[in-house]
Structures are given as structure tokens and as C-alpha cells.
Amino acid sequence: MTMAEIIDGKRFAEHLRAEIGRHVVRLREQHLVTPGLAVILVGEDPASQVYVRNKARQAREATMASFEYRLPHSVPQEKVLELIERLNADPAVHGILVQLPLPPQVDADRVINAIRPDKDIDGFHPINAGALATGGDGMVPCTPLGCLMLLKHRLGDMSGLRAVVLGRSNIVGKPMASLLLRESCTVTIAHSKTRDLAEECRRADILVAAVGRARMVHGDWIKPGATVIDVGINRIETPDGKGRLVGDVDFDSAAAVAGAITPVPGGVGPMTIACLLLNTLEAACRQHGLPVPAGLMEAAWG
């Protein structure tokens, strides 16, 4: 049985973060600028706490400044907006991230729209979504950016390849489609209403699965030799009661057919945080009128 190449996102992310760290040091030495990342966490959601902790730790490891704001679950929306206003104006803060989900009294759209677009390192502000959709310059959401890096590393020029994006969320599916279109792929967005998902997927040279359904994509949905990027992180039950994380792709059957595939965990996940740091670094450069470091991705893998 042929086995696909396993795309080691964890290792790539480590290299990328190290490369980012070197740039941060250089930025401080040459320009007295330390990129600053502010993370806002509302409430006590355990998963969100883990994410926020990891983001802050990796920012510090890259010798960035990390600012954490923990607000109670009952915080009024106005208080969140006031904090964002303050961070928008704070020259030590170059990137602002609001951990989602938010409690019901806080309107996520209102909050995201309040972030200064050039500090919106998640790339969720409509100005940034619009820039991505129309080929302009803006912040690109971290998860699809991480997927793109893994794809570029594996495939190089993707022009003319057939890409199928499974899922149409604003956070992954839609921006992923825009990025692949920018790379001149022929892009199809498939989703829950698509009539024959398996058939659509089987046409894909590049398949990005981002639907949040455990192991939905089986080996017989995959074109032999295709590159498969699995964005899903789903917890399933196991007999020992500990549970286990799996992707949207059934790894074993898919790896027997695909040319290359990302594992879960250790594939896309680590790239997301690395790209958050990359966006923060770039935001710091732009806000100080400095050139944005180029070739970071290539150097990281190098």
C-alpha cells in the first residue's frame, strides 16, 4: 500500500517561529521596536484558555511582548469595546486578538469591527476580508495562511491545479478559496448543500477539508496523488474514556491514496499560531513604516 508523504506542520511551524524570533531580535536591535501581541479572553471556556495560553507563550518565546486581558463572562459589551479602543491607541500593541467564542451579551461582529484593521492580526475585519477577496493588501486569517504555506512548500507553483475547499466558513473556507484563487488554482467551494461531495472531492488535486465533522472524508473521496490538508480538529470518544483528536479526514484510508497529507494533531494546528506571530511581526513593521520581512517561509523550511 502506498503511503502519502506526511506533511509535518509541527516541524514547519517550529522552524517558522524560530525564523520569526530572529526577525524580532533584529527589529529590536536595529529599530528599537518590539512587536506586541494583545490577547483578550472573555469568560472561562477551558479550550479558549488553552489556546490563549499557547498563543501568549509562543509570542514570548519569539521574544515578542505579550499582553493578556481576562474579562469575566458577564462583562458588558461596552467594556470590551473600551478595552479595544485603548489597545488600538497603544503604540506598544501591534496586534489585537479577541478569542472567540464570546458570551451572548457581546456581539462578535461589533467587537471585530472595532479593532483597527492594521492591528487585526486574525484578519477578520471586513476591511481585511475585502482586501483578501479583491486581491488587495491586508491581514490574512491565520489558519488558511498556514494551510497555504504547507501547500506552497509541497507543490510550489499551483497555477491551474484543481482545488476543492470543503466548508464555507468566514474563518477558513472562504479566505482559503480566495488564497487558492490568488495562486491561480481552479477553485471549487463545496459544503453541506453540495449534491455529491465525494465526486467533487475526487476531482481535487488539492483538497482542504474544513467542515468540523470527524473523519468525514474517506480514502475513496480522494484523487490518487492529491495533496490533502485537514483543518478539522474533532474530539471523539475512545474506549478508555480519554477521547482523542481526529481531523475531518479519515487519515488511514486517505493516506493510502493521497500524495501528501497533514496529520491531526501536528498538521495545520501549529501553523495557525505561527501565522498569528507572523501577522503580528508584519503588523509591527507596517505600523513603524518598516519593510515587511520577505522570504520568511522559505527560510523557515530551508
Q: Are residues 212 and 167 in contact, defined by beta-carbon separation less than 8 angstroms?
A: yes
How many other CB atoms are there within 10 angstroms of residue 178's CB atom? 21
Half-sphere exposure of 265 (CA within 13 A, CB side): 8
Q: In what order do the strands lie in the sheet with 36-42?
A: 65-71, 36-42, 95-98
Shortest reach from residue 158's CB to its own copies, in Å: 10
Closest separation in Å from C-beta 196 to its own copies: 9
Verify whether residue 152 is a known catalytic residue. no
CB of 58 to its own copies, least distance (A): 27
Chain contacts with its own copies (rule: CB under 8 A): 109, 125-136, 138, 159-160, 162, 168, 170, 174, 177-178, 181, 184, 186-191, 193-195, 200
Cβ at position 185, least distance to its own copies in Å: 8
Alpha carbon distance 158, 179 (integer Å)? 11
Query: Catalytic: which of 58, 99, 118, 230?
Result: 99
Based on CB atoms, which residue is closest to its own copies, 7 or 180?
A: 180
- Determine phi and psi for 96, rounding to 5 degrees: -120, 130
- Of residues 167 and 270, the one with the C-beta less far from its own copies: 167
Annotated binding site for NADP(+): 167-169, 233
Instruction: Count the neighbouring beta carbons within 10 Å of the beta carbon of residue 247.
Output: 30
Considering the complex, state which of residue 96 and residue 281 has its C-beta at the smaller distance from its own copies.
96
C-alpha grid cell, residue 155: 507543490
Question: Does 174 participate in catalysis according to the annotation?
Answer: no
Catalytic residue chosen out of the listed positions 118, 119, 120, 122: 122
C-beta of 262 vs 279, nearer to its own copies: 279
**Closer Cβ to its own copies, 81 or 133, answer by number:** 133
Q: Is 122 a catalytic residue?
A: yes
3-state secondary structure 201-219: HHCCCEEEECCCCCCCECH
Question: How many Å apart are CA 24 and CA 81, to the nearest integer?
Answer: 29
Smallest separation (angstroms) from its own copies to the CB of 70: 28
Cβ contacts of residue 229 below 8 Å, gap of 6+? 7, 147, 150, 151, 206, 207, 208, 209, 261, 262, 267, 268
Residues involved in catalysis: 55, 99, 122
